[in-house]
Amino acid sequence: MFEQAPLPRLSLVLGGARSGKSALAETWVLAEAKRRGVRPLYLATGRAWDAEMERRVALHRERRADAWDTVEEPMAVAALLPTLPPDRPVLLDCLTLWLTNHLLEEHDLAAETAVLCAALYAAPGPVVCVSNEVGLGIVPDNPLSRAFRDAQGTLNQRIAAAAQRVVFVAAGLPLALKSEPTS
Protein backbone atom coordinates (compact mmCIF):
# COMPACT_ATOMS: atom_id res chain seq x y z
CA MET A 1 0.00 0.00 0.00
CA PHE A 2 2.51 2.65 1.17
CA GLU A 3 5.70 0.59 0.81
CA GLN A 4 7.07 2.64 -2.08
CA ALA A 5 6.10 6.05 -0.73
CA PRO A 6 8.59 7.93 1.45
CA LEU A 7 7.64 8.08 5.10
CA PRO A 8 6.01 11.27 6.27
CA ARG A 9 7.19 13.00 9.43
CA LEU A 10 4.73 11.04 11.61
CA SER A 11 2.77 7.85 10.97
CA LEU A 12 0.47 5.83 13.23
CA VAL A 13 -0.30 2.14 12.82
CA LEU A 14 -3.27 0.98 14.89
CA GLY A 15 -4.75 -2.45 15.41
CA GLY A 16 -5.68 -5.12 17.88
CA ALA A 17 -3.40 -7.67 19.45
CA ARG A 18 -1.68 -9.87 16.85
CA SER A 19 -3.23 -7.89 14.00
CA GLY A 20 0.05 -7.47 12.10
CA LYS A 21 0.56 -3.82 12.99
CA SER A 22 4.18 -4.14 14.14
CA ALA A 23 5.19 -6.19 11.09
CA LEU A 24 3.66 -3.58 8.76
CA ALA A 25 5.38 -0.71 10.60
CA GLU A 26 8.70 -2.57 10.48
CA THR A 27 8.34 -3.01 6.71
CA TRP A 28 7.78 0.71 6.25
CA VAL A 29 10.71 1.78 8.43
CA LEU A 30 13.09 -0.75 6.86
CA ALA A 31 12.15 0.45 3.37
CA GLU A 32 12.70 4.08 4.38
CA ALA A 33 16.07 3.28 5.95
CA LYS A 34 17.14 1.47 2.79
CA ARG A 35 16.00 4.42 0.67
CA ARG A 36 18.10 6.75 2.86
CA GLY A 37 21.07 4.40 3.17
CA VAL A 38 20.94 4.32 6.99
CA ARG A 39 20.13 1.81 9.72
CA PRO A 40 16.63 2.05 11.16
CA LEU A 41 16.10 2.72 14.86
CA TYR A 42 13.65 0.69 16.94
CA LEU A 43 12.40 2.33 20.15
CA ALA A 44 10.96 -0.55 22.17
CA THR A 45 8.78 0.32 25.14
CA GLY A 46 7.85 -3.16 26.36
CA ARG A 47 8.80 -4.52 29.74
CA ALA A 48 8.97 -8.25 30.36
CA TRP A 49 6.75 -8.54 33.45
CA ASP A 50 6.23 -12.29 33.17
CA ALA A 51 7.15 -15.34 31.06
CA GLU A 52 4.51 -14.65 28.42
CA MET A 53 5.74 -11.08 27.96
CA GLU A 54 9.33 -12.35 27.83
CA ARG A 55 8.32 -14.57 24.89
CA ARG A 56 6.67 -11.64 23.11
CA VAL A 57 9.75 -9.46 23.55
CA ALA A 58 11.98 -12.32 22.35
CA LEU A 59 9.84 -12.75 19.22
CA HIS A 60 10.15 -9.05 18.41
CA ARG A 61 13.93 -9.16 18.95
CA GLU A 62 14.22 -12.25 16.75
CA ARG A 63 12.19 -10.65 13.97
CA ARG A 64 14.38 -7.53 14.07
CA ALA A 65 17.58 -9.60 14.09
CA ASP A 66 20.62 -7.44 13.28
CA ALA A 67 18.85 -5.17 10.79
CA TRP A 68 18.00 -2.57 13.45
CA ASP A 69 19.63 -0.45 16.10
CA THR A 70 17.41 -0.90 19.13
CA VAL A 71 16.87 1.30 22.16
CA GLU A 72 14.76 -0.25 24.88
CA GLU A 73 13.15 2.66 26.67
CA PRO A 74 9.91 1.93 28.51
CA MET A 75 9.08 5.48 29.58
CA ALA A 76 11.44 8.35 28.64
CA VAL A 77 10.65 8.29 24.93
CA ALA A 78 9.81 12.00 24.84
CA ALA A 79 13.26 12.92 26.16
CA LEU A 80 14.96 10.62 23.66
CA LEU A 81 13.18 11.63 20.45
CA PRO A 82 14.70 15.12 20.01
CA THR A 83 18.23 13.71 20.36
CA LEU A 84 17.95 11.34 17.39
CA PRO A 85 19.75 11.92 14.09
CA PRO A 86 17.43 13.53 11.52
CA ASP A 87 18.17 11.08 8.72
CA ARG A 88 17.21 7.90 10.58
CA PRO A 89 13.65 6.59 10.46
CA VAL A 90 12.34 5.51 13.85
CA LEU A 91 9.82 2.86 14.85
CA LEU A 92 8.20 3.49 18.24
CA ASP A 93 6.66 0.20 19.33
CA CYS A 94 4.41 0.56 21.14
CA LEU A 95 2.42 3.44 22.55
CA THR A 96 0.13 1.07 24.45
CA LEU A 97 2.97 -0.39 26.48
CA TRP A 98 4.44 3.09 26.97
CA LEU A 99 1.10 4.25 28.38
CA THR A 100 0.82 1.12 30.54
CA ASN A 101 4.26 1.81 32.00
CA HIS A 102 3.21 5.33 32.98
CA LEU A 103 -0.10 4.09 34.38
CA LEU A 104 1.67 1.54 36.57
CA GLU A 105 3.98 4.28 37.89
CA GLU A 106 0.86 6.36 38.65
CA HIS A 107 1.97 9.26 36.45
CA ASP A 108 -0.42 11.89 35.13
CA LEU A 109 -1.39 10.26 31.82
CA ALA A 110 -2.76 13.45 30.28
CA ALA A 111 0.47 15.29 31.05
CA GLU A 112 2.64 12.42 29.76
CA THR A 113 0.55 12.29 26.58
CA ALA A 114 1.01 16.02 26.01
CA VAL A 115 4.78 15.75 26.47
CA LEU A 116 5.02 12.78 24.10
CA CYS A 117 2.91 14.50 21.44
CA ALA A 118 5.13 17.58 21.58
CA ALA A 119 8.25 15.41 21.27
CA LEU A 120 6.81 13.50 18.31
CA TYR A 121 5.91 16.75 16.61
CA ALA A 122 9.47 18.02 17.13
CA ALA A 123 11.23 14.76 16.21
CA PRO A 124 14.05 15.40 13.72
CA GLY A 125 13.21 12.50 11.38
CA PRO A 126 10.31 10.30 10.38
CA VAL A 127 8.66 8.34 13.20
CA VAL A 128 6.22 5.46 12.86
CA CYS A 129 4.22 4.78 16.03
CA VAL A 130 2.47 1.49 16.73
CA SER A 131 -0.50 1.44 19.07
CA ASN A 132 -3.34 -0.86 20.07
CA GLU A 133 -6.91 0.11 19.44
CA VAL A 134 -8.44 -0.96 22.75
CA GLY A 135 -11.85 0.72 22.54
CA LEU A 136 -13.60 -1.72 20.22
CA GLY A 137 -14.54 -4.33 22.82
CA ILE A 138 -16.79 -4.46 25.83
CA VAL A 139 -16.65 -1.79 28.51
CA PRO A 140 -14.12 -2.92 31.13
CA ASP A 141 -15.58 -3.93 34.49
CA ASN A 142 -13.31 -1.85 36.73
CA PRO A 143 -12.34 1.81 37.04
CA LEU A 144 -8.60 1.29 36.37
CA SER A 145 -9.25 -0.57 33.11
CA ARG A 146 -11.80 2.02 32.02
CA ALA A 147 -9.35 4.83 32.79
CA PHE A 148 -6.66 3.06 30.77
CA ARG A 149 -9.02 2.48 27.82
CA ASP A 150 -10.01 6.15 27.86
CA ALA A 151 -6.40 7.36 28.13
CA GLN A 152 -5.36 5.04 25.27
CA GLY A 153 -8.19 6.34 23.10
CA THR A 154 -7.18 9.92 23.83
CA LEU A 155 -3.52 9.18 23.08
CA ASN A 156 -4.43 7.50 19.79
CA GLN A 157 -6.63 10.44 18.80
CA ARG A 158 -3.91 12.98 19.59
CA ILE A 159 -1.26 11.08 17.62
CA ALA A 160 -3.66 10.47 14.71
CA ALA A 161 -4.51 14.18 14.54
CA ALA A 162 -0.82 15.09 14.23
CA ALA A 163 0.13 12.23 11.90
CA GLN A 164 0.23 12.50 8.14
CA ARG A 165 -0.41 8.75 7.74
CA VAL A 166 -2.74 6.61 9.85
CA VAL A 167 -3.46 2.96 9.10
CA PHE A 168 -5.65 0.45 10.90
CA VAL A 169 -4.55 -3.20 10.63
CA ALA A 170 -6.91 -6.14 11.05
CA ALA A 171 -5.99 -9.75 10.20
CA GLY A 172 -2.76 -8.50 8.66
CA LEU A 173 -4.60 -6.24 6.23
CA PRO A 174 -4.00 -2.48 6.34
CA LEU A 175 -6.83 -0.03 5.97
CA ALA A 176 -5.80 3.57 5.27
CA LEU A 177 -7.56 5.99 7.59
CA LYS A 178 -5.51 9.08 6.72
CA SER A 179 -2.93 9.78 4.06
CA GLU A 180 -1.60 13.28 3.54
CA PRO A 181 1.02 14.00 0.88
CA THR A 182 4.62 14.07 2.12
CA SER A 183 6.47 17.32 1.65
Active-site residue list: 60
Helix (H, G, I), strand (E, B) or coil at 18: coil
**Residue 128 near residue 90 (C-beta atoms within 8 A):** yes
Supply the Cα-derived Rg of the chain in whole angstroms: 15
Which of 140-175 are b and which e, b meaning 16 or more Cβ less than 10 Å from the residue's Cβ? eeeeeeeebeebbeebbebbbebbbbbbbbeeeebe
* 128, containing H or E segment: strand 127-132
Alpha carbon distance 123, 86 (integer Å): 8
**Residue 125 near residue 83 (C-beta atoms within 8 A):** no
